[in-house]
Amino acid sequence: MRKIIAASITAGSFITFTDPSLAADRDRGARLAAMCASCHRLDGGDGGIPTILGMSPEMLTRTMLAYRSRERPSHIMRAIALSLSDEEIATVARYLAALDKQVRP
Amino acid sequence: MRARTRREFGRLTGAMALAALGPRLAAGEAKARVVVVGGGIGGATAAKYLAASARTIEVTLVEPKPNYTTCFFSNLYLAGLCSFESLTHGYKTLAQRYGINVIHDSVAAVDPVAKTVWLKSGPKLPYDRVVVAPGIAFNYDALAGYDEAATQVIPHAWNAGPQTQLLRRQLESMDDGGVFVLVAPPNPFRCPPAPYERASLIAYYFKQHKPGSRILILDAKDNFNSQDLFLDAWERHYRGMIEWLPAQFTGGIKAIDVKERSVRTAGETFKAAIANVIPPQQAGQFAQQIGLVDQSGWCPVDPITFESKLQPGIHVVGDAASAGDMPKSAFVANSQAKACAFAIVEALAASERAPPHLFNTCYTFLSPDDAVSNAVSFKPVAGTIKIIDNFVSQVQESAETRHRAAREAQSWYAAFTHDTFG
């Protein structure tokens, strides 16, 4: 399942990014991911803080919701998870999954 | 508008990781020019995200120094817990990987009518937008007996660099049994928990190497950031070593005597083996010079775009900005710089405008293995920036939780400086 979703997004970003809605989604994802980059390296490098690349969009979404509900403890992740809307979490999760394919093919 | 080839796209994302598919140039269209003045955390982050977000923007970063030494984590260096080199970062990656034109020079003037930045060495840089990140300046007028020359004897060490190294040398050569007097500044100032983190880590150093020495904090305030966490840690780790005197106790700090190395308060004069005076602060001098500063001493900005409320077309990020509830910290500078960079990309391309997500995160060391964290989210509300959520460590947390935060802080430093300079 994960493979199919990620593959279609990757294909989308390579070939049909001239589709304005896809490009806009990617732009929004990139801007949200910029916020993650203050603590998580997004180039595949290992900075010590757990990487958020290589997670499926579903997994990343579940993790964010667990931080939001306090099921997983972290001041920082809780503040971020509460700040993002469900739609924004889905957008950044899609972006990171696509980015993963670029930086760690 | 032309489509990118697959190879070109791969090169871009490989190099920039965060490259958004921002606006592209039509053939023959001139690039927009953004000049970023100041290569600290705010300036470097703004330059990087502008360059990575839109290839239609030509980014120039003007910074006189060849390297930047982070103020955050410099208290660890003072305590002998990390090297000076580990705090120092260059601009090579920003130039080479992101194509930023890095110029090591000072800015003499900005002409907002002709939209030109004048460099000290002569050249003029035309711009469409300017981002200014001048950091802080010290308000020496507010503290009798202390000035620029005095910093060579009594360092502030509040801009990391030679000042930090001077204070470290003084700590190393101090005889055991001396009193380290730290003068803490009035609000607002750069990094609210940092004077107290400094006291904690210097107490740690004394405990290891000069156990008969003490620390006296003379505060311009009556309370301070995360006070309960610090007082608890000082009792647990450094009992009897750190004394904090609020302004209501001393009657306020009146003067510094450089020759005597002493601090005079309303009631008493305190003599120091080492004095560390952190003076009252205001926006960096460059911001004052070009008319970005109001009577508060800081730069009022639009809470969404960080454009100056006094000078259109000039954006201010980082410590110099007066941004509602946002404190002056490296994390805030980085967060503001991204919001500002995206707002400029959107303004230049007249594209969709998304409200920014703004955050602060602080890791504070109480000892090398005992750290606390604070995370805050902010939102632009009614012309200013308000705190939405604020999560902070509590007294009574387990040693394991604190130890984990200390390890996480070290990892964060690596990732954060990579986000800014790498």
Query: Which tops the pLDDT comparison, B216 or A12?
Result: B216
Give chain B's mean pLDDT. Answer: 93
Q: What is the H or E stretch that residue B102 is in?
A: strand B101-103
Has residue B18 got a pLDDT over 80? no
Closest CA relative to residue B85, chosen from B72, B71, B69:
B69
* DSSP H or E segment with residue B95: helix B92-96
Judge: A78–B389 Cβ closer than 8 Å, yes or no. yes
Q: What is the ipTM of this complex?
A: 0.90
pLDDT-based confidence at residue B24 (cuts at 50, 70, 90): low
State which residue of chain A sits closest to B420, comparing Cα positions: A38
Q: CA quadruple A92, B98, A24, B375: dihedral positive or negative?
A: positive
At B314, give phi and psi (nearest 5°): -115, 125
DSSP B129-196: EEEE---EEE-GGGSBT--TGGGGTS----SSSHHHHHHHHHHHHPPTT-EEEEEEPPSS-BSTTHHH
Measured CA angle at A31 (ends B48, A19), to 5 deg? 115
Q: What is the mean pLDDT of residues B8-16?
A: 37
Which residues, other chains included, contact B373 with Cβ-Cβ below 8 Å and sequence gap of 6+?
A75, A76, B361, B362, B363, B364, B392, B393, B405, B408, B409
B68 touches chain A (CB under 8 A): no
CB contact under 8 Å between A39 and B361, yes or no, is: yes
Element (DSSP H or E) covering residue B213: none
Among B18, B354, B373, select the one facing A75 at the smallest CB separation.
B373
CA distance B376 to chain A (A): 6
Would you tell me how many other CB atoms lie within 10 Å of the CB of residue B235? 11
Summarised one tens digit per residue, pLDDT across range B154-170 is 999 999 999 999 999 99
Q: Which residues of B touch A14 (CB under 8 A)?
A: 6, 9
Q: Is B393 on the interface with A (CB under 8 A)?
A: yes
Query: What CATH number did the domain enclosing A6 receive?
Result: 1.10.760.10
Could you tell me which residues of chain A have a Cβ less than 8 Å from any Cβ in chain B?
A: 13-14, 17-18, 23-24, 26-28, 30-35, 37-43, 45, 47-49, 75-76, 78-80, 82-84, 99, 102-103
- Does the reported pTM lie above 0.80? yes
Asked if the Cβ–Cβ distance from B13 to A99 is below 8 Å, we say: yes
Amino acid, res. B144: A
For residues A99-104, average pLDDT: 88
- Asked if the Cβ–Cβ distance from B3 to A41 is below 8 Å, we say no
Range of the domain at A96: 2-103
Q: Chain A residue with minimal CA distance to B405?
A: A74
Angle at B38 between CA B49 and CA A80, to 5 degrees: 40
Please give the average per-residue pLDDT across B176-190, as a whole number. Answer: 98
Partners of A72 on chain B (C-beta within 8 Å) are none
- pLDDT for res B354: 78
Nearest to B192 by CA among B369, B386, B392: B392
Kindly list the strands in the beta sheet with B116-119, ordered across the sheet, starting from the edge strand earlier in the chain.
Answer: B107-111, B116-119, B124-126
More confident residue, A48 or B291: B291
- CA separation for the pair B394, B378 (Å, rounded): 21
Dist. CA A2–CA A9, nearest whole Å: 11
| Confidence (pLDDT) at B19 | 44
Q: What is the pLDDT of residues A47-95, one digit of tens each?
A: 678 899 989 999 999 999 999 999 999 999 999 999 999 999 999 999 9
Q: What is the pLDDT, as a whole number, of residue A16?
A: 39
pLDDT band at A6 (very low <50, low <70, confident <90, very high): very low
Chain A interface includes B392 (CB < 8 A): yes
Nearest-Cα residue of chain B relative to residue A24: B21
